[in-house]
Amino acid sequence: MKILVLGVGGIGGFFGGHLHEIGADVTFLVRPKRRALLQANGLRIISPLGNLNLDPKLVLSDELKPVYDIILISCKTYDLDQAIIDLRSTKGRGIIIPFLNGVTHMKKLDEEFGQDNVMGGVAHISSTVNKDGTIEHFSEFKKLTFGNRDLSKNNALKEFAEVCAKTKFDVALSDDINLDLWKKWVFISTVAGATTLFSCSLGDIVKTDFGKKIIIDLFNECRSIAQLYKYDYEDSEADIILKTITISGSPIKASMQRDVEKNSFTEHEQIFGDLITKGKKYNFDCPILMSCYVRMNVYQRNLT
């Protein structure tokens, strides 16, 4: 099985690197600047699972051929249009699994590659790329969930799931990837919203008098939008999520907040903006989520 990974960041680099570690046939699609850095320093991962220093196979977009069985897309959502252009030479072969936030990216991928070839994917991980290109993994989250959006056709992904099961990260072949995509959207909107709104970790927010309530209220706003589209957590699962993200002393920050700390562009349009638009279709009011969105619009307009 030949695997192509677009994006050597906190998701693609981490999960692709661990696939490479077990001997899977993995190639990373990169741009010239990133290739030069990886050729000089290797693919380095710092993680509680153990550190890795790998010599990955690399390819540029103009060198691509339609030879891959699995194509993982792990770029930032705002880079999707360029990713589609870069992958056009692979059309006609390969199952595409995007690990992007939200759900609106699916339409673009379906139009370009065909709905039958585009799966759903969710990455649960807290990670970042440091200035020297090293990927740093935080916390215990390290899971890939994927599945066919046509739930009767998951067999096509079993072989890839079996390969992933040999690695140090967790994997699940989803029974309902559409629901999982919405659950992740609610989760990341809450965590990214809270940590960017207050520019700190979840634990720092919880220390304040009303911090825990704001996190819970934000989660409930995002969850309510998902419910409008018939996607929801079970109450018991929602309770577990809320306990996790409001635990005292939690060091967790969303990758969006880490991007802010690096003075980088963010995915707030695709995470907050698209979710607010979904809510507007039902005249749903979400003031805390809108505050998070305004905060990030102000940030990005002043980005230097």
pLDDT in tens, 209-240: 999 999 999 999 999 999 999 999 999 999 99
Q: CATH 1.10.1040.10: which residues of the chain?
A: 180-301
pLDDT score at 92:
84
What pLDDT does residue 126 have?
86
Burial, 134: exposed, middle or buried (Cβ in 10 Å; 0-12, 13-18, 19+)?
A: middle
Q: Which residues of the chain have pLDDT under 70?
A: 304
| Element containing residue 136 per DSSP (H, E) | strand 135-147
State residue 156's pLDDT score.
78
Q: Which fold has domain 180-301?
A: N-(1-d-carboxylethyl)-l-norvaline Dehydrogenase; domain 2 (1.10.1040)
Q: What is the pLDDT of residue 31?
A: 92
Place of tokens 């990455």: 123
Give CA–CA dist 157/116, Å, rounded.
Answer: 12
What phi and psi values does residue 290 have, to the nearest 5 degrees? Answer: -65, -35
Residue pair 54/42 in contact (Cβ under 8 Å)? The answer is yes
Q: What would the pLDDT profile of 3-13 be if each residue is shown by its tens digit?
A: 999 989 999 99
CATH 3.40.50.720 region(s) of the chain?
2-175
Q: How confident is the model at residue 304, as a pLDDT?
A: 65
Residue-level pLDDT at 139: 76
How are beta strands 95-98 and 25-29 bridged, if at all? unpaired
Decide if 295 contacts 235 (C-beta within 8 A): no
Q: What is the pLDDT of residue 21?
A: 97
The CATH number for 2-175, chosen from 3.40.50.720, 3.30.360.10, 3.40.50.1820, 3.30.930.10, is 3.40.50.720
pLDDT for 141: 85
